[in-house]
């Protein structure tokens, strides 16, 4: 049997802007751009398979997507959502299929959401059932629990929904549906889940009010303002470097353009409680809290 010996290399200093872009924010940029009537400009969009599937779906729904030489995306929404002649392929993305379930449930037309064999085996009733309980028309295999899912968009009545689980995907799907309802809707969750959707939609001008675990959603009276943002870097991807600094006394890692949303940085807070010095320097907060994270290892 081979033995692997690991020993500290010594202290070091490391600074980077090149952490992977945040996937959750990238998905939402593509989908939320359809809520505006003007082009959205997105920098640092994550070029991963999941998020590229979402971008392709947005195009299938009628948007025009242009990519500049530096990778900046300009997403021009259609005048109205197009009923596509094809299946909307979400790849392996649970975020894409579940958020689109909420968004498409109020769009005029019939839509089919599907994905790869792994996505097709993942349960969707956790989102389908809440949406159907407020009037959405969604069906699929095993009574809508597995893709492919068929959605026939229609006007929904205002609703109050109390979720039994804390899920950003369930919450986001219900919020997207509520934006096109005929009155003020409410969503309540048992614990705070990721709140990217609420923050970004408010930044675009939506009247989405968060009060603790209660979200109140006013229907849109007009199209939202377009997005103009640089997708922040993913705090989970940056955490490997943070741990490296934390376990080497005197080492420092500086991570730039990081997402600082409180629902996403708890791992860094744990490092802080374990003795590392962690600084959060916020620089932007229109759509999300974004800035730098500096981690210094010390006892």
How confident is the model at residue 111, as a pLDDT?
Answer: 98
Please name which of 218, 175, 181, 220 lies closest in space to residue 194, comparing C-alpha atoms.
Answer: 175
Per the domain annotation, does 4 fall within a domain?
no
Name the percent of the chain in helix, strand, coil, to the closest 5.
Answer: 30, 25, 40
In the DSSP assignment, the letter for residue 124 is -
- 134 and 268 fall within a common domain: no
Conformation bin of residue 176: beta by default, left when phi > 0, alpha when psi is -120 to 50: alpha
74 in helix, strand or coil?
strand
The answer to whether the beta carbons of residues 213 and 245 sit under 8 Å apart is no
| CA gap 64, 48 in Å, rounded | 19
Cα–Cα distance, 45 to 229 (Å, whole number): 10
User: Among candidates 228, 224, 233, which has minimal Cα distance to 201?
Assistant: 224
Q: How many domains does the chain have?
A: 2
Q: Within this chain, do residues 170 and 263 fall inside the same structural domain, yes or no?
A: no
Say yes or no: 187 and 289 in one domain: no
Q: Of 178, 207, 229, at which residue does a domain stop?
A: 229
Domain span at 133: 23-229
Among 208, 229, 250, residue at a domain's last position: 229
Q: What is the CATH number of the domain that holds 37?
A: 3.65.10.10
Both 73 and 95 in one domain: the answer is yes
Q: What is the pLDDT along the chain (299 residues), one digit of tens a residue?
A: 788 877 766 788 989 999 999 999 999 999 999 999 999 999 999 999 999 999 999 999 999 999 999 999 999 999 999 999 999 999 999 999 999 999 999 999 999 999 999 999 999 999 999 999 999 999 999 999 999 999 999 999 999 999 999 999 999 999 999 999 999 999 999 999 999 999 999 999 999 999 999 999 999 999 999 999 999 999 999 999 999 999 888 899 999 999 999 999 999 999 999 999 999 999 978 899 999 999 999 76
Cα separations in angstroms, 13 against 135, 269, 297: 55, 21, 11
Residue 137 confidence (pLDDT): 97
- Whether 104 is in a domain gets the answer yes
| Inter-residue contact 293 to 278 (CB < 8 Å) | yes
Query: How long a stretch of residues is the chain?
Result: 299
237 and 174 in one domain? no
- Sorted by sequence, the CB contacts under 8 Å of residue 174 that are 6+ apart come out as 102, 130, 131, 134, 161, 163, 185, 187
């Amino acid at each position: 049997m081979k033995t692997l010996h690991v020993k500290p290399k010594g202290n070091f200093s490391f600074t980077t802007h090149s952490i992977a872009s945040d996937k959750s924010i990238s998905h939402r940029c593509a989908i939320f751009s359809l809520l505006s009537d003007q082009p959205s400009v997105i920098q640092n969009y994550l070029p991963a398979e999941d998020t590229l599937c979402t971008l392709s779906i947005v195009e299938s729904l009628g948007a025009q997507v242009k990519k500049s030489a530096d990778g900046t995306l300009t997403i021009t929404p259609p005048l109205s959502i197009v009923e596509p002649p094809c299946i909307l392929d979400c790849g392996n993305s649970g975020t894409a299929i579940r958020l689109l379930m909420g968004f498409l449930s109020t769009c005029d037309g019939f839509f089919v959401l599907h994905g790869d064999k792994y996505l097709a085996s993942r349960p969707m009733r956790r989102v389908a059932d809440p949406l159907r309980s407020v009037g959405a028309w969604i069906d699929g295999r095993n009574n809508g629990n597995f893709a492919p899912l068929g959605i026939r968009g229609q006007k929904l009545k205002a609703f109050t929904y109390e979720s039994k689980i804390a899920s950003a995907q369930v919450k986001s799907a219900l919020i997207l549906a509520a934006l096109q309802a005929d009155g003020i809707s409410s969503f309540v969750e048992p614990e705070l889940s990721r709140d990217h959707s609420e923050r970004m939609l408010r930044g675009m001008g939506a009247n989405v009010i968060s009060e603790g675990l209660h979200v109140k959603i006013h229907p849109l009276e007009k199209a939202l303002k377009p997005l103009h943002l640089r997708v922040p870097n993913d705090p989970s991807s940056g955490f490997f470097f943070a741990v490296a600094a934390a376990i080497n006394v005197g080492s420092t890692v500086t991570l730039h353009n990081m997402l600082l949303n409180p629902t996403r940085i708890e791992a860094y807070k744990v490092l802080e409680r374990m003795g590392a010095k962690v600084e959060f320097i916020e620089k932007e907060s229109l759509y999300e809290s974004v800035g730098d994270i500096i981690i210094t290892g010390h006892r």
